[in-house]
Structure 1
């Protein structure tokens, strides 16, 4: 089975405030629960395509966790994303066999839902945040990712059309994805425009855009295009990782609200990306 987007992680300062903001955007937000042994708790925005947004906050400082440190040091926003792995152990072994020795796991994880249901999963994580982590369920996925009416949103949101990931070295990152995804990564296409190099990689119904600034121009004093400069500044301040999100919605529904997106560069698309 090909890898697909599992979920996108958004670190927020106050979970209840974040829930209110995302509901004001026209999204249905579900209470997620608590992570045993940790101070974090979350809420979910689940889409028809099976992927979801995870809003995560901490009740007490957790400096040992990268997501918390990013929130503490750089503010709210996108911090990570996960790919769905039917068998995390096998996916991890396959990636290592293809040369991705910097992927570690499997690590057991879980969450206690407000209704008392205990969820269990396994993850495998890469040493650098340009590469997503893998997430595979031990308990039924429907317990972690609700189905049916939970995936219907007032604004018609249906899923992630595109996710942009800022990376330092596009060639190095693409090689890691090829080791992680195997044959699926052969569908990647490369382009260069506006001072930015981009690799487009389809992940089910989501397009992944890996972007890095081009090498500095050789001409002395040459100005860098604004988009490339913004990407370079983003990498210098917040580091590698997801940096922009496009959500797909039905065109026959009301436009999304204008509430705060909590540091997420969010756009809406009423049709497929060509």
Structure 2
């Protein structure tokens, strides 16, 4: 793995209507955080669903900004799993490492958002991110890295318990007709390794963290028990989440959610 990366940090689900998306995911048994508004130069807002070391983020545009141009382009076509973030220990060092390999990484970019706390108080969550080049998006999944400066303001204990029993992300699922090539592409970007698992080609992201799995849309649709047409032919298509309370797969915000019984 790239020296500054620890593994998958969170998955970004792009949505057009944050309120509707929050209600949709809450109805599936997730504890959804209050809306967070990012710094003005970022131009977006979010809701999160926090687990142990990782989380899901519902992300929407509130003001057009250069920083969210790619997000707006994605939403003009569809909603759904738009990108994956890795935890980085040093965003500036990550940018330098990628540029040394000839990859035109962008960043580091600093931003923040206020966090309402359960006791009625508030905190500020602060981040520094860098993005891999936009054209280096394996099977259309954009990737970036996030350095958390204020973990206690993001991983709030009361937000980490979910009625549906989900505790972490097991896999991010990406649809593509060339799963071997896409997995090799991601492995090259993060200096990781890819392995074949039936129809899926998986890239490990770090110890105890989710993998990213590439497969034809038909294979992901079969796992999600949904029509192929409900998922993109190429791009982020779904996720596998472990739960102590088994439940059938679901579709939310253009994303297939496979609930797998926790071991």
TM-score, normalised by the number of residues in structure 2: 0.77
- Within 1, Cα distance between the matches of 2:249 and 2:31? 15
Corresponding residue for residue 9 of structure 1: 12
Please list every run of 5 or more consecutive structure 2 residues that lacks an aligned counterpart in the other structure. Answer: 222-227
25, 29, 32: which is aligned to 2:28? 25
Corresponding residue for residue 40 of structure 1: 44
126, 142, 148: which is aligned to 2:152? 142
Do 1:100 and 1:176's aligned partners in 2 also have CA atoms closer than 8 Å? no
Please list every run of 5 or more consecutive structure 1 residues that lacks an aligned counterpart in the other structure. Answer: 214-225
- Within 2, Cα distance between the matches of 1:85 and 1:120? 14
Tell me the number of residue pairs that the alignment of Structure 1 and Structure 2 aligns: 241
Corresponding residue for residue 241 of structure 2: 247
Report matched runs for 1:63-102 at 5 Å.
65-74=69-78, 76-97=79-100, 99=101, 101-102=103-104
Corresponding residue for residue 120 of structure 1: 126
- Within 1, Cα distance between the matches of 2:247 and 2:219? 26
Corresponding residue for residue 171 of structure 2: 162
Do 1:100 and 1:180's aligned partners in 2 also have CA atoms closer than 8 Å? no
Q: Report deviation, 1:159.
A: 1.0
- Within 2, Cα distance between the matches of 1:256 and 1:228? 17
Do 1:108 and 1:120's aligned partners in 2 also have CA atoms closer than 8 Å? yes
Corresponding residue for residue 224 of structure 2: none
Q: Report deviation, 1:109.
A: 2.4
- Within 2, Cα distance between the matches of 1:157 and 1:106? 32
173, 183, 186: which is aligned to 1:177? 186
1:113 aligned counterpart, secondary structure: strand
Q: Deviation string for 1:18-62 (max 9, x for gaps)?
A: 111111111100114111214421111001x22111112233556
1:209 maps onto 2:213 in alignment: yes
1:142 aligned counterpart, secondary structure: helix
- Within 2, Cα distance between the matches of 1:9 and 1:68? 13
- Within 1, Cα distance between the matches of 2:248 and 2:64? 32
TM-score, normalised by the number of residues in structure 1: 0.74
Q: Report deviation, 1:206.
A: 1.3
Q: Deviation string for 1:183-212 (max 9, x for gaps)?
A: xx14x313564xxx6244253331221346
**Between Structure 1 and Structure 2, whose CA radius of gyration is higher?**
1
